[in-house]
Amino acid sequence: MDNLIALLIAAPLLGAAVLLCGGRRLDAAGHWIGTALAAASFVLGVVLFGDMLGKAADHRTVTQHLYSWIPVGGFQADVTFRLDQLSMTFVLLITGVGSLIHLYSVGYMEHDERRRRFFGYLNLFLAAMLLLVLADNYLLLYVGWEGVGLASYLLIGFWQHKPSAATAAKKAFLVNRVGDMGLSIAIMLMFTTFGTFAFAPVFADVARTGEGKLTAIGLMLLLAACGKSAQVPLQSWLGDAMEGPTPVSALIHAATMVTAGVYLIVRSGAIFNAAPDARLAVTVVGAVTLLFGAIVGCAKDDIKKALAGSTMSQIGYMVLAAGLGPIGYVFAIMHLVTHGFFKAGLFLGAGSVMHGMNDEVDMRKYGGLRKYMPITFVTFGLGYLAIIGFPGLSGFFSKDKIIEAAFAKGGTEGWILGGAALLGAAITAYYMTRVMLMTFFGEERWRNRATASPQEPDVEPAAEHHGEHAEPHPHESPKVMTIPMIVLAFGSVFAGGIFSIGDRFVHWLEPVTGHSEGHSPVSAMTVTAATLVLLVVGVAIAYAQYGRRPVPVVAPRGSLLTRAARRDLLQDDFNHVVLVRGGEHLTRSLVYVDHTLVDGAVNGTAASVGGLSGRLRRLQNGYARSYAVSMFGGAAVLVALTLLMRAV
Amino acid sequence: MNPVNYLYLAALLFTIGATGVLIRRNAIVVFMCIELMLNACNLAFVVFSRMHGNLDGQIIAFFTMVVAAAEVVVGLAIIVSLFRTRHSASVDDASLMKL
Amino acid sequence: MSAQLAAYSTSTGEALQFWVLGTVAVIGALCTVFMKKAVHSALCLAGTMIVLAVFYLANGAYFLGIVQIVVYTGAIMMLFLFVVMLVGVTAADSLKETIKGQRWLALLCGLGFGVLLFAGIANASLKDFDGLGRVNANGNVEGLAALIFTKYVFAFEITGALLITAAVGAMVLTHRERTERARTQRELSQQRVREGKHVPPLPAPGVYARHNAVDIAGLLPDGTPSELTVSKTLRDRGQVRDVSDEAISDLKALEQRAAERLERAEDERPAHKRTEEASK
């Protein structure tokens, strides 16, 4: 049974290879091949899960050694897979949600000429992510890590004919490279510190290692996590990544990519446990991102970008929880899983709305869609209730636990972090209610679009492309798209409850991540009550602003904060001013130094040699008599020397 | 008189010839100066032959004459062909081997 | 200079001869270097060589002395003179130095070299002179022949090869291979007409001729001399004489004298004939 782990990766990898190398003859059936292989991987994951449940809690970790990858002296890298409770959770999430997104894409991408290629990339994405979570050492994890980066690049830029998509893909790739650098440095540090980078020996040696080195490794791992999980300061790529097809956004945000950073931190828990400073940095990054993403989400009119801000914020929760140490690891993963369900559901719902609205993404041009897309409305609504933490749904359980854990950290830090998490919950309620109201309620602002607003300020290029300024005809999506949404809605509703009742998820993960109860200064009931009160406040404000008053089709100018948030809180401007300009100046000064000092030395040497040669060259004047003088002088010198030798 | 004086004379003639080679520009005169140097050497050989009381020095002088004859033939032929192409017998005019 | 040459020192006669002829030899050598004209240089060199021949004889090298006169002074110097004729007898080259510092460097080197040679000779212990009395007992030529055809026979043979090679080389160097057929007179005249210049024969030299006058350029109607009238060889050597700036009165007087002398024949002969006569 344990030898089947490699097949988990092999199935989607095979799919990617077949679809990408197969050529046009697979165009007709390619999408089903891709979906089937993703589903096969999921089925295998379920089988292995059942097998794992049959074992005792302490004997559930299994490894499969495939072959020795790089055996060079003291440098041993093996292709070994490790399946324990943590990776099992991820395998099920990735393959399960991934398969549903595959299925959804069959409908969503129906009219795209390059659908086969799209499914090949999706399979590649799954394979890379599975390799990432199943690897037994950091080097193999790094392979998956880079594979995820590659696949995300290919998928975000899938509509490469759009310059914005190509740029977004490039941006995602480059920002991710910064994080990748962190991971590679972390691996190098590990090798110099521990002499290995396999999980078990590294974690075993942590106790014998100085805190300084562990902090350095932890910070580098945090940098890596920031890149993949879109945490401040490497968050800028996430919003632009919405240029990819909507299923890609769902896949990136729910099942793969952004969860990799959280996985990395939780997996490296042993290192972070021994490095409190690094952990503090993780919590700070998480808290900042949580608020950052939430604020950005409030201001966006693009439905996908609002959801992207939400993702950033939710991942911030997870990173915050992961930074709390053993009291938070389990809840980070739990929130990750529940978030996987409802965020996938929300994105697929958004895709369904766009599908029915001629790819319009501006929520100000939606409104009153609940009558036309009932299934989408219901599934999206359930996802909405789950994410804002409506009591009884998934988000309620997982987010509540994180807020409690944040308070449980204790001291001033605990209060600050807990407060930030609470505030984030309120803002979440606000912006998600805004999305919900603008999309499904209110007047039907999409009617008479062409006459109502002849000069639309920001028509999306995609809508322009379709050339349909005519009135859209909202309609429900086909079954192949709605079924995944329904399945995910079930997950959104029940996952949290199933995990939390009886602390099942805690017991499940405890052998891997460890768990300890914190001592919260406020009781759990108080936290829950506060969360609920803030939830109601957030919803109420949103209702007052968007439910009671008509929504203007053209966005009002808004406050300074709103305008900043629309520009992603000036993240790109910051990057441009600090990094791009700074880099340019640094480059220019380096070029200057190169031209003056380095080239000066080189050219100076050459010029002095040349000048010397030019002077020596004058000896060669072409006159035979001049040469004869040299010869005669030489002969005289020889005679003199001979005489001198005789004399001596 | 000591026969060594012949050697001094030979050295003097040789030096005059060498200096002439360096000073004169007319290829024919330069060539004559070279002949003068060869003759000075011959004189020294002959005197050495007398000094050592054997004829080897004279033999060498004889060979020198033969070689000088060959050299004159070839050298003058070169001068003639040089003059034919350049209309000049100056050694300074043949100075193309420079920048 | 008997066969019994002194081993240690020479006779008074030989000493006298050395000092007198040695001076002549040195003067000849210096003249070779410093004479402006190549012909003079060659003659001076010939003189030096004859002196050297006498010295060879004085040193008991009878064969070499004769060979020196016959081969060097006779054959080689004649060759030199021939080449001097070929290249231009009167083409005196200026002794003005053109290469900067060459003369001083040459003199410095020559002086240094000479001093070193003198020092070397003075330093060497050259006290014992065996003399050639014993080896020349059977005759100098016989002694040389015995050495040449025994000990030095290979060198001798190789010099033969060298001489042959030199002769062939000289022929190769001076011989010009004709690469195309020689043009006939007809073709040449046709080419001249086609090119359109100098269709008639070149103008004659010597308008105011006093001798045979091929080196005096003919005058154009405006009085300037035309180089075209003088042979190209003379032009190349720079031997064209220009009389255009000579005093007109001198010329007038010349004509006058000629007219007076030939007065009787004036009515019989044309004017230009008269000038021709005058030049004789």
- Select the residue of A629, A639, A646 nearest C106 (Cβ to Cβ): A629
* A611–chain B nearest CA distance, Å: 15
Interface contact flag, C80 B32, Cβ < 8 Å: yes
Chain B within 8 Å of A192 (Cβ-Cβ)?
no
* C277–chain A nearest CA distance, Å: 52
pLDDT value at A162 more than 80: yes
* B21–chain A nearest CA distance, Å: 8
pLDDT value at B95 more than 80: no
Interface contact flag, C42 B32, Cβ < 8 Å: yes
- Select the residue of B18, B23, B94 nearest A624 (Cβ to Cβ): B94
Closest CA to A123 of A223, A255, A278, A15: A15
* Better-scored residue on pLDDT, A369 or C269: A369
Tell me the average pLDDT across A87-100: 92
Identify the band that residue A466 occupies on the pLDDT scale cut at 50, 70 and 90: very low
Cite the DSSP H helix spans in A457-581: 461-466, 479-500, 504-513, 524-542, 560-566, 571-574
Interface contact flag, C117 A639, Cβ < 8 Å: yes
- Alpha-carbon radius of gyration of chain C: 30
Tell me the average pLDDT across A560-584: 81
A449-453, A471-475, A566-570, range with the lowest pLDDT = A449-453
> Across all residues in chain A, what is the average pLDDT?
87
pLDDT value at A569 more than 70: yes
Chain B within 8 Å of A628 (Cβ-Cβ)?
yes
What would the 3-class secondary structure string for C18-39 be? HHHHHHHHHHHHHHHHHCCCHH
Q: Please, which chains are in contact with A (at least 3 CB pairs closer than 8 A)?
A: B, C
Chain C within 8 Å of A646 (Cβ-Cβ)?
yes
Tell me the average pLDDT across A396-424: 88
- For position A620, what pLDDT does the model report? 78
- Alpha-carbon radius of gyration of chain A: 31
Chain C within 8 Å of B96 (Cβ-Cβ)?
no
CA distance C253 to C258: 8
B89, B82 Cβ separation under 8 angstroms: yes
- Select the residue of A621, A633, A639 nearest C120 (Cβ to Cβ): A639
Interface contact flag, C63 B58, Cβ < 8 Å: yes
Identify the band that residue A146 occupies on the pLDDT scale cut at 50, 70 and 90: very high
* B70–chain C nearest CA distance, Å: 5
Using alpha carbons only, what angle is made at residue A29 by residues A24 and A33, rounded to the nearest 5 degrees?
A: 110
Chain A within 8 Å of B99 (Cβ-Cβ)?
yes
- For position C178, what pLDDT does the model report? 76
pLDDT value at B94 more than 80: no
Chain B within 8 Å of A621 (Cβ-Cβ)?
yes
Query: Which residues of chain B lie closer than 8 angstroms to C121, CB-CB?
Result: 4, 7-8, 11
Query: Which residues of chain C lie closer than 8 angstroms to B41, CB-CB?
Result: none
Query: Which residues of chain A lie closer than 8 angstroms to B98, CB-CB?
Result: 620-623
Query: Which residues of chain C lie closer than 8 angstroms to B53, CB-CB?
Result: 130-132, 134-135
High-pLDDT (> 90) share of chain A, %: 40
Q: Convert the pLDDT of each residue in A12-31 to its tens digit.
A: 999 999 999 888 888 888 88
- Select the residue of B23, B51, B52 nearest C106 (Cβ to Cβ): B23
For A24-54, give the DSSP string: GGGTTTHHHHHHHHHHHHHHHHHHHHHHHHT
A148-157, A396-405, C3-12, range with the lowest pLDDT = C3-12
pLDDT value at B68 more than 80: yes
- For position C52, what pLDDT does the model report? 94
Interface contact flag, B95 A625, Cβ < 8 Å: no
A85-94, C94-103, C188-197, C209-218, range with the lowest pLDDT = C209-218
Identify the band that residue A499 occupies on the pLDDT scale cut at 50, 70 and 90: confident
- For position B45, what pLDDT does the model report? 94
- For position B40, what pLDDT does the model report? 95
For residue C241, the cross-strand partners are: C216
Q: Convert the pLDDT of each residue in A500-516 to its tens digit.
A: 887 888 888 888 888 88
Identify the band that residue A409 occupies on the pLDDT scale cut at 50, 70 and 90: confident
Interface contact flag, A629 B22, Cβ < 8 Å: yes
Tell me the average pLDDT across A130-149: 93
Chain B within 8 Å of A632 (Cβ-Cβ)?
yes
* A627–chain C nearest CA distance, Å: 10
Interface contact flag, A622 B95, Cβ < 8 Å: yes
Helix (H) or strand (E) holding A81: strand A75-83
Q: Which of B5, B9, B34, B79 to mutate to test the interface with C (most CBs of C within 10 A)?
A: B9
Q: Convert the pLDDT of each residue in C61-106 to its tens digit.
A: 999 999 999 988 888 888 888 888 887 654 556 667 777 788 888 8
How many residues are listed for chain A in this entry? 648
- Select the residue of C106, C110, C167 nearest B73 (Cβ to Cβ): C167
Tell me the average pLDDT across A78-92: 91
Helix (H) or strand (E) holding A64: strand A62-72
- Sorted by where each starts, the structural domains of chain B and their CATH numbers stand as 1-86 (1.10.287.3510)
- Closest C-chain CA to A634: C109
Integer angstrom CA distances of residue C75 from B67, C67, C159, C214 = 14, 10, 18, 33
Top-confidence range, A49-53, C203-207, C226-230: A49-53
* Better-scored residue on pLDDT, A567 or B62: B62
Name the pTM for this structure.
0.63
Identify the band that residue A169 occupies on the pLDDT scale cut at 50, 70 and 90: very high
Chain A within 8 Å of B18 (Cβ-Cβ)?
yes
High-pLDDT (> 70) share of chain B, %: 97
* A626–chain B nearest CA distance, Å: 8
* A609–chain C nearest CA distance, Å: 25
What would the 3-class secondary structure string for C196-227 be? CCCCCCCCCCCCCCCCCCCCECEECCCCCEEH
Helix (H) or strand (E) holding C152: none
Q: Convert the pLDDT of each residue in A419-463 to its tens digit.
A: 999 999 999 999 999 999 888 888 888 776 544 444 444 444 444
Tell me the average pLDDT across A575-581: 84
Which residues numbered 74-93 in B keep a CB inside 8 Å of some CB on A? 91-92
* Helix/strand/coil percent split, chain B, to 5: 80, 0, 20
- For position C244, what pLDDT does the model report? 60
- Alpha-carbon radius of gyration of chain B: 17
Interface contact flag, A621 B95, Cβ < 8 Å: yes
How many A/C residue pairs have CB atoms within 8 Å?
Answer: 37
Q: Give every CB contact of residue A8 below 8 A, 6+ residues apart in sequence.
A: A41, A44, A45, A48, A91, A95, A130, A134
Chain B within 8 Å of A624 (Cβ-Cβ)?
yes
* Better-scored residue on pLDDT, C2 or A512: A512
- Select the residue of C59, C97, C99 nearest B6 (Cβ to Cβ): C59
Query: Which residues of chain A lie closer than 8 angstroms to B88, CB-CB?
Result: none
Identify the band that residue A468 occupies on the pLDDT scale cut at 50, 70 and 90: very low
What would the 3-class secondary structure string for C163-187 be? HHHHHHHHHHHHCCCCCCCCCCHHH
Q: Give every CB contact of residue A84 below 8 A, 6+ residues apart in sequence.
A: A60, A61, A62, A511, A512
Closest CA to A236 of A286, A314, A293: A293
Q: Convert the pLDDT of each residue in C23-40 to its tens digit.
A: 999 999 999 998 888 889
Interface contact flag, C109 B24, Cβ < 8 Å: no
How many A/B residue pairs have CB atoms within 8 Å?
Answer: 30
Q: Which of A623, A631, A638 to mutate to test the interface with B (most CBs of B within 10 A)?
A: A623
- Closest C-chain CA to A626: C102
> Across all residues in chain B, what is the average pLDDT?
88
Interface contact flag, B80 C48, Cβ < 8 Å: no
Chain A within 8 Å of C105 (Cβ-Cβ)?
yes
Query: Which residues of chain C lie closer than 8 angstroms to B31, CB-CB?
Result: 80
Q: Give every CB contact of residue A196 below 8 A, 6+ residues apart in sequence.
A: A76, A137, A190, A202
Query: Which residues of chain C lie closer than 8 angstroms to B81, CB-CB?
Result: 173-174
Q: Convert the pLDDT of each residue in A192-244 to its tens digit.
A: 988 888 998 899 888 888 889 999 999 999 999 999 998 988 888 888 888 88
